[in-house]
Structure 1
């Protein structure tokens, strides 16, 4: 019998930790040996870190990255791991249905499959949804993790539960839709309302557990999460070249000052955000969309699907412009404050975000809007990039965490792995101002 369950925890309520505890229990009871975790791209590399932090059992975790052959080899390497341990493969949604990869995953035959942010398979007839349904039909145990309230997208529930347990809502999407949706509009092809939602939610919760921030009384007032971005081999080569050149210039015997070191760090940080300023040029050129794609995943989950408000801080103006273009393309109404926005206009932009239900995102330059304004209409904030000043960073945290805020606050940092992003965040976690320590410790940053 296939057994499926859902942890429908709002962001920051510990669904990854709970999932790892569940895996550990099942492993120790000898129910599972192999686990496949399917996650959004920016979440994949978070899983090994979470296992390191929380698992009290032996686990070998491999993120399947790179081209098709590399991914299949990583899966094969898991099988040949010589010691007793829970074998965990992590892969992004978009790769699961690709030729040869799907076949390799099917042949690997995981005992348990976890769909992290399972709303990624909400479209029942999408290729990746159909592939994951097939993988799920074979697996002995299944788990979905999602914080998106199903009340907003009742029909989206079908595909996720088709993966989880087909006996709950059946295997025919149109029967499910006819049962719970009221059709209207042109040729009756549009959903104009719902019926029997109480019964639908009751069935949904029969194999799921829901946790909201309001219910999670033991959560800290502020929860910090990370989404990790992996550079491609080409991007990593460019990054390392900039780093080597910066080190060579600083180590060349001249006087090392705060300004010279911070300027070099700034260039590295701009690159992790996707931009490169060529020598002799003032214009930043877009060379990578890793962070933008990770941010778009969060916006899809949190703003589009869950209908919630979001604050986004970024350090550099090209990042602000790029994010603004993405929001406009998605037709998401947003307010934005950066250096060129007139002081007399800023109050109205903040007020609109605070009071207008249609304005979903507040996008701001951290040096410009990180101080003195109230953004409590949101309880979640994404840091696309940060500055080097702890005081400014600390002030920006307080934009959503202040009087008037009724919810636990969640902060998500976008971190490009193996780069200056990690170093800066560690310094900020120690409440350090990089400018005060940078001259003596500059070698640690390059």
Structure 2
């Protein structure tokens, strides 16, 4: 296929070539991968600026997306991709194989750094989903930080740079510029732009922005980060978000309230116990979905209201394929038992079959299907059987269908049990999305310059 870049893609390609480090904060479905591949091909074989390129990506994306995308386009089809995946022996064999791109999953970054140490060979690194390096305490961040001085060029790709708060930006920007813009340490960054919010004496649980800090942060990073949103550039069919409110039967509501009040739900063969707020939240989400793990890790089924509503949605779809996101393993088991036509997304063949409309109901966990998978050819209906607190997973998962190439209006059904924590999750996701949009808008590229 011949690649005809959109105006914004051409701009992104030029920025990757011209700048040694750049963050591409592009909405999902705007072609970050092909834009980066185009720039990498030019840097490798036209400008001779780099010699060995490493791509760090989520596992499913590392397994499938980069090689599939390389083979898709005429101008990148010649590029050889070596997948540094699997057992250590296979990883070693992969890094020793001559290739244009070496693709590794982010969980093995620490191993790769330890394997090469000071003899790090990759002079260009692409981090697919830069936001997965948002924790300064994570081993993957600390490992990559060690070899950052050996990296000549670095590109960070993400559609959600600050999924929870602007605190998340510091590690990502440090990998781009070594602390030049937001400071050399996370402590200094926090002290400069934030102040304690919720705390217990000396323990700070959350931070809030100082006055004018958000504007200052945006200004600091605007020269190294390109932010573009699909709504400004792509003529996509408007997405419909449909909260499906589900009233729970009185006995179920009573059990829910008991769990919420007493942190305990007794059963004959094992109680459901929640000893912290986080555990309680998790248990209540499970209960809202219809089943919950007890203290013996056995599944206690409470109700089937979401299964019934999912059945109604399938009937209304009238044979159109449906992508269902589940949260817990007991959700998966119950859906598969109830709907014999359901197929779990497990490998590349499943992706191909879905895109050929051969799977009527595809089940996926947002953490494993949240990045880089192109599923828009197979359908346009999404059902969230269980909700997630993570804005990043939520947005990325929806973007599997709501992305460039989608020809139909995407419908996103959210199964929300009334009077439960489901309602709180929806409000939190909407609240975080407001902050995320503010960040993206603040560092949006000065596109007017493209037209001149």
TM-score (norm 1): 0.52
Please state whether the residue corresponding to 1:201 is helix, strand or coil.
Answer: helix
User: Map of 1:14-413 to 2, 5 A cutoff?
Assistant: 14-27=31-44, 28-45=46-63, 46-54=65-73, 56-57=75-76, 58-78=78-98, 87-98=100-111, 102-104=114-116, 107-150=119-162, 152-166=164-178, 167-184=180-197, 185-186=199-200, 187=202, 189-195=204-210, 196-219=213-236, 329=282, 336=289, 368-372=312-316, 392-394=319-321, 396=322
Task: Answer whether contact 1:36 1:90 (CA < 8 A) is retained.
Answer: yes
Task: Answer whether contact 1:39 1:93 (CA < 8 A) is retained.
Answer: yes
Q: Deviations over 1:23-79 (max 9, x none)?
A: 12322221122111111112112111011113614311111112112101110012x
Please state whether the residue corresponding to 2:320 is helix, strand or coil.
Answer: helix
1:11 offset after TM fit, Å?
1.8
Please state whether the residue corresponding to 1:370 is helix, strand or coil.
Answer: helix
* CA shift in 2, pair 1:12/1:419, >3 Å: closer
Q: Provide the rounded CA distance (Å) in 2 between the counterparts of 1:157 and 1:148.
A: 10
Q: Provide the rounded CA distance (Å) in 1 between the counterparts of 2:284 and 2:144.
A: 30
> Which position in structure 1 is the counterpart of 2:352?
422
Task: Answer whether contact 2:113 2:143 (CA < 8 A) is retained.
Answer: no
> Which position in structure 2 is the counterpart of 1:259?
none
1:427 offset after TM fit, Å?
4.5
Bigger CA drift: 180-189 or 117-126? 180-189
Task: Answer whether contact 1:2 1:165 (CA < 8 A) is retained.
Answer: no
Task: Answer whether contact 1:3 1:165 (CA < 8 A) is retained.
Answer: no
Q: Provide the rounded CA distance (Å) in 1 between the counterparts of 2:95 and 2:120.
A: 8
Q: Provide the rounded CA distance (Å) in 2 between the counterparts of 1:95 and 1:327.
A: 33
1:425 offset after TM fit, Å?
3.9
* CA shift in 2, pair 1:152/1:32, >3 Å: same
Q: Provide the rounded CA distance (Å) in 2 between the counterparts of 1:427 and 1:41.
A: 24
Please state whether the residue corresponding to 2:110 is helix, strand or coil.
Answer: coil
Task: Answer whether contact 2:58 2:129 (CA < 8 A) is retained.
Answer: yes
Task: Answer whether contact 2:156 2:176 (CA < 8 A) is retained.
Answer: yes
Bigger CA drift: 123-132 or 213-222? 213-222
Please state whether the residue corresponding to 1:71 is helix, strand or coil.
Answer: helix
Q: Provide the rounded CA distance (Å) in 1 between the counterparts of 2:303 and 2:92.
A: 50
> Which position in structure 1 is the counterpart of 2:12?
none
1:9 offset after TM fit, Å?
1.3
* CA shift in 2, pair 1:421/1:192, >3 Å: closer
Q: Provide the rounded CA distance (Å) in 2 between the counterparts of 1:146 and 1:153.
A: 15
Task: Answer whether contact 1:20 1:54 (CA < 8 A) is retained.
Answer: no
Please state whether the residue corresponding to 1:43 is helix, strand or coil.
Answer: helix
Please state whether the residue corresponding to 2:172 is helix, strand or coil.
Answer: helix
Q: Provide the rounded CA distance (Å) in 2 between the counterparts of 1:121 and 1:220.
A: 32
Task: Answer whether contact 2:109 2:144 (CA < 8 A) is retained.
Answer: yes
Please state whether the residue corresponding to 1:72 is helix, strand or coil.
Answer: helix
Q: Provide the rounded CA distance (Å) in 2 between the counterparts of 1:393 and 1:327.
A: 37
Please state whether the residue corresponding to 1:214 is helix, strand or coil.
Answer: helix
RMSD: 3.8
* CA shift in 2, pair 1:201/1:64, >3 Å: same
* CA shift in 2, pair 1:337/1:218, >3 Å: farther
What are the ranges of 5 or more consecutive residues in structure 2 without an aligned counterpart? 1-17, 240-278, 292-301, 325-342, 359-376, 380-452
TM-score (norm 2): 0.52
Q: Deviations over 1:77-110 (max 9, x none)?
A: 12xx6xxxxx111111111112x66333763521
Q: Provide the rounded CA distance (Å) in 1 between the counterparts of 2:218 and 2:308.
A: 38
Task: Answer whether contact 2:58 2:106 (CA < 8 A) is retained.
Answer: yes
